[in-house]
Amino acid sequence: MTNAQKMLPKLLNLERLRTVMRRPVVFDGRNVREAERMRRRGFEYYSIGRAPVRRS
């Protein structure tokens, strides 16, 4: 687990973030988040080197 993976849950409230975004899209340049978890939370998620995940 990287330092970014350890700190990010403390820094971001994803539920709040999604409610304030016009279009809930996340670009993850460090592959910190799990793609399926982001989809379940209602985000469109793009990470470097992995397939994009569209929200359901």
Count of structural domains within the chain? 1
Q: Taking the model in full, what pTM does it have? A: 0.69
* 36 assigned to some structural domain: yes
> 3-state class of 25 per DSSP?
strand
Which pLDDT value is given to residue 56? Answer: 65
* 56 assigned to some structural domain: no
- For residue range 31-52, what is the model confidence (pLDDT) as tens digits? 888 889 999 999 999 998 887 7
Contact 24, 43 (CB under 8 A): yes
Which pLDDT value is given to residue 49? Answer: 84
* 37 assigned to some structural domain: yes
Domain assignment of residue 26, given as a range: 3-47
* 52 assigned to some structural domain: no
